[in-house]
Amino acid sequence: MMKILVTGGAGFLGSHLCERLLEEGHEVICLDNFFTGSKNNVRHLLNHDHFELIRHDIITPIDIESDRIYNLACPASPIHYQFNPVRTIQANVLGVTHMLELAKRTKARILQASTSEVYGDPTVHPQTEDYWGNVNPVGPRSCYDEGKRVAETLMIDYNKQFHVDIRIARIFNTYGPRMALNDGRVVSNFILQALQENAITIYGDGKQTRSFCYVSDLIEGLMLLMESERFVGPVNMGNPNELTVLDLANRVIEKTGSRTNIVHKPLPQDDPVMRQPDITRAKAELGWSPIVSLDAGLSKTIPYFQEKVSSSL
């Protein structure tokens, strides 16, 4: 049994990770400032003997002994990370530095939740880890994209200079239960709109692509990477099953049986045209690849939103 710190543990991915780590018999310290996360996401864990919840912002240092640190603390959806862009980049520069200093002092292994956004609006397709990306340093997405790029650099340099034991996962679009209802991401927006019979909002012509990974697959990948003894990454983690945003809208309409229609809204600035992970490295180094199809994943996700919609009536 290990003592494991999960920052951003009350968020969408973090809450699933805490749950899985407890199932494996570990002691979990969940740290969160509740900006986008919620106590509700971990309410079912609060009485667990091996679970502890701490309200804290990683922009301020903290001293906690642990064997492992999963650093997930950062708002992930464009509307949330653009709400207070300075705080977003601070979470990735100051926050990541504080977590690395903690790892250095306690000799904990630390995993950074990086992102496909380090590739920006990619000119290489699908994206391999060797691609350096195409990121606008002064656009609306920069606080997140550049923040996560600096975070990777900090991780690599703390490893080189101070021998901190690091892991870097580049996470691609992931979906599932406990995504925040108001986070504006495409899967949560489309499911809610379909269930409430509101028009599905497609930004631009809907021909831009994304590749969606179900949350349980992603969490298995993160845990495998963390416990890999010789491989540190960076490694892409996502489902290579690419589709257009328009295709996604039609899949959601079909699966919810909604009678809604589609409306087009302006495409946000710097919205990446295409995104698909090349997961050759994850397969070779970790033996990991996703197993949940989009159809199966949506079937597990829609009831969660259905329940939220019903309970808000």
Binding of residue 140 to ligand UDP (CB under 6 A): no
CA distance 281 to 69: 23
Q: Give the x/- contact pattern for ligand UDP in 176-195, rule: CB under 6 A.
A: ---------xx--x------
Binding of residue 83 to ligand UDP (CB under 6 A): no
Among 82, 90, 106, 201, binds ligand UDP (CB under 6 A): 201
3-state SS, the chain, equals CCEEEEECCCCHHHHHHHHHHHHCCCEEEEEECCCCCCHHHHHHHCCCCCEEEEECCCCCCCCCCCCEEEECCCCCCHHHHCCCHHHHHHHHHHHHHHHHHHHHHHCCEEEEEEEHHHHECCCCCCECCCCCCECCCCCCCHHHHHHHHHHHHHHHHHHHHHCCCEEEEEECCEECCCCCCCCCCHHHHHHHHHHCCCCEEEECCCCCEEECEEHHHHHHHHHHHHHCCCCCCCEEECCCCEEEHHHHHHHHHHHHCCCCCEEEECCCCCCCCCCCECCHHHHHHHCCCCCCCHHHHHHHHHHHHHHHHHHCC
Active site residue 144: yes
Q: Report the residue number, 102 or 260, with the smaller CB distance to ligand NAD.
A: 102
Among 4, 28, 53, 58, binds ligand NAD (CB under 6 A): 58
Binding of residue 53 to ligand NAD (CB under 6 A): no
Q: Of ligand NAD, ligand UDP, none, which one does residue 58 interact with (CB within 5 to 8 Å by kind)?
A: ligand NAD
Q: Of ligand NAD, ligand UDP, none, which one does residue 57 interact with (CB within 5 to 8 Å by kind)?
A: ligand NAD
Q: Of ligand UDP, ligand NAD, none, which one does residue 305 interact with (CB within 5 to 8 Å by kind)?
A: none
Q: Give the x/- contact pattern for ligand NAD in 220-259, rule: CB under 6 A.
A: ----------------------------------------
Q: Give the x/- contact pattern for ligand UDP in 158-177, rule: CB under 6 A.
A: ---------------x----
**Number of shown-chain residues binding ligand NAD (CB under 6 A):** 29
Q: Of ligand UDP, ligand NAD, none, which one does residue 151 interact with (CB within 5 to 8 Å by kind)?
A: none
Binding of residue 90 to ligand UDP (CB under 6 A): no
Positions touching ligand NAD (CB under 6 A) are 7-8, 10-14, 32-37, 57-59, 72-76, 91, 95, 113, 115, 171, 173-174, 180
